[in-house]
């Protein structure tokens, strides 16, 4: 993220600048990004989508999210854990998703690992890395970090548990998207709401 402070949208409300760049982003910014997400399947979906986003624009992923959900059985861990080599090949041919073999294989492998966990274990692990004290509201997008000590610790904990394709930057993006941190800029209509 680079840029300045919040920008007035069509309704006059101030928003993070990226949240006004496309209609898709306006809806995502206002209704999802930074809102707390709980539940193992919901967090598995976000973890997978953040991994697929690595090296790409989030908009690319956002616009294909329904394709991802269809291809990966709505990211139900138990269902994806049953996928085999034929499914991997099917996914490599699916134009509705990002066809990156390493990311697809990581998504399938991660489901197999998580299928062996108890209910709520992924949720508990991820949320245990939320900062203990809320940070100060960033004033500009330049004030928003890409990595924090908490995201580094989360990435290490996930890797130690056998989860693939997650580094500190991906972990921080997950923390932002799932409400573990609130990186809406000071003055943004979504900061408090």
177: pLDDT strictly greater than 70: yes
Lowest mean pLDDT: which of 3-17, 45-59, 103-117, 163-177? 3-17
**Any idea what DSSP says for residue 15?**
E
Cα distances (Å, whole numbers) of residue 140 to 23, 59, 95, 108, 131: 21, 21, 36, 37, 20
Distance in angstroms between the alpha carbons of the first and the last residue of the chain: 22
Q: Counting beta carbons within 10 angstroms of the beta carbon of residue 9, is it exposed (0 to 12), middle (13 to 18) or buried (19 or more)? A: middle
Mean pLDDT of 14-25: 94
Mean pLDDT of 21-38: 95
24: pLDDT strictly greater than 50: yes
* Whether residue 127 lies in the annotated active site: no
What is the pLDDT at residue 133? 86
Q: Rounded CA gap, 77 and 142, in Å?
A: 36
Catalytic residue among 25, 44, 45, 50: 50
156: pLDDT strictly greater than 60: yes
1: pLDDT strictly greater than 60: no
Catalytic residue among 18, 28, 127, 172: 28
Grade residue 136 by pLDDT with cuts at 50, 70 and 90: confident
Catalytic residue among 58, 127, 150, 172: 58
What is the pLDDT at residue 192? 72
Q: What is the mean pLDDT of the chain?
A: 95
Whether the Cβ atoms of residue 81 and residue 114 lie closer than 8 Å to each other? yes
* Whether residue 44 lies in the annotated active site: no
Residue 15, beta-bridge partner list = 7
Q: Counting beta carbons within 10 angstroms of the beta carbon of residue 94, is it exposed (0 to 12), middle (13 to 18) or buried (19 or more)? A: middle
* Whether residue 18 lies in the annotated active site: no
Grade residue 3 by pLDDT with cuts at 50, 70 and 90: low
Residue by residue, DSSP assigns 95-161 as TTS---HHHHHHHHHHHHHHHTSPTTHHHHHHHTTS-SSPPPPPSSGGGS-S--HHHHHHHHHHHHT
Counting residues of the chain whose pLDDT is more than 70, the rounded percentage is 98
Per residue in 75-85, pLDDT tens? 999 999 999 99
Q: Counting beta carbons within 10 angstroms of the beta carbon of residue 110, is it exposed (0 to 12), middle (13 to 18) or buried (19 or more)? A: buried
What is the pLDDT at residue 19? 93
């Amino acid at each position: 993220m680079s840029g300045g402070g919040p920008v007035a949208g069509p309704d006059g409300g101030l928003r993070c600048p990226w949240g006004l760049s496309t209609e898709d982003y306006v809806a995502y910014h206002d209704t999802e990004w930074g809102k707390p997400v709980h539940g193992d399947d919901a967090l598995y979906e976000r973890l997978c989508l953040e991994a697929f986003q690595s090296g790409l624009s989030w908009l690319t992923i956002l616009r294909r999210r329904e394709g991802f959900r269809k291809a990966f059985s709505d990211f139900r861990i138990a269902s994806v854990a049953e996928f085999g080599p034929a499914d991997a090949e099917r996914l490599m041919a699916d134009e509705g998703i990002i066809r990156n073999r390493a990311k697809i294989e990581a998504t399938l492998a991660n489901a197999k690992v998580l299928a062996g966990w108890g209910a709520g274990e992924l949720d508990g692990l991820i949320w245990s890395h939320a900062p203990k004290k809320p940070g100060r509201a960033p004033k500009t997008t330049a004030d928003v970090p890409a990595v924090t000590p908490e995201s580094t610790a989360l990435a290490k904990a996930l890797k130690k548990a056998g989860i693939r394709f997650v580094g500190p930057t991906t972990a921080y993006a997950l923390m932002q998207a799932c409400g573990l941190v609130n990186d809406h800029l000071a003055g943004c209509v979504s900061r408090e709401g």
